[in-house]
């Protein structure tokens, strides 16, 4: 009985980790797209410095 519970617990942990990793991959893809769009859509005006699309 204990072995069955350990196998079920392991399956639950692996399922949770797999789901979390998949969500993190989609989040990374979304951030990459926003980052690339920032380079495409940045302004062409420069006020004496390099033009940046972000504020830091």
Residue (of 54, 56, 30, 29) closest to 42 by Cα position = 54
Q: Do residues 52 and 42 make contact, with C-beta atoms less than 8 angstroms apart? A: yes
Q: Which residue reads 């690339």 in tokens?
A: 36
Q: What is the mean pLDDT of each run of 10 residues along the chain (56 residues)?
A: 86 84 89 84 59 57
Q: Do residues 54 and 38 make contact, with C-beta atoms less than 8 angstroms apart? A: yes
0.85 cut: is pTM over it? no
Rounded CA-CA distance 14/6 in Å is: 12
How confident is the model at residue 24, as a pLDDT?
A: 87
4 token code pair: 């069955």
């Amino acid at each position: 009985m204990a072995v069955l519970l350990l196998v079920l617990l392991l399956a639950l942990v692996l399922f949770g980790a797999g789901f979390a990793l998949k969500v993190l991959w989609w989040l990374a893809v979304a951030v990459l797209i926003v980052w690339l769009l920032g380079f495409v859509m940045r302004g062409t005006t420069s006020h004496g410095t390099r033009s940046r699309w972000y504020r830091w």
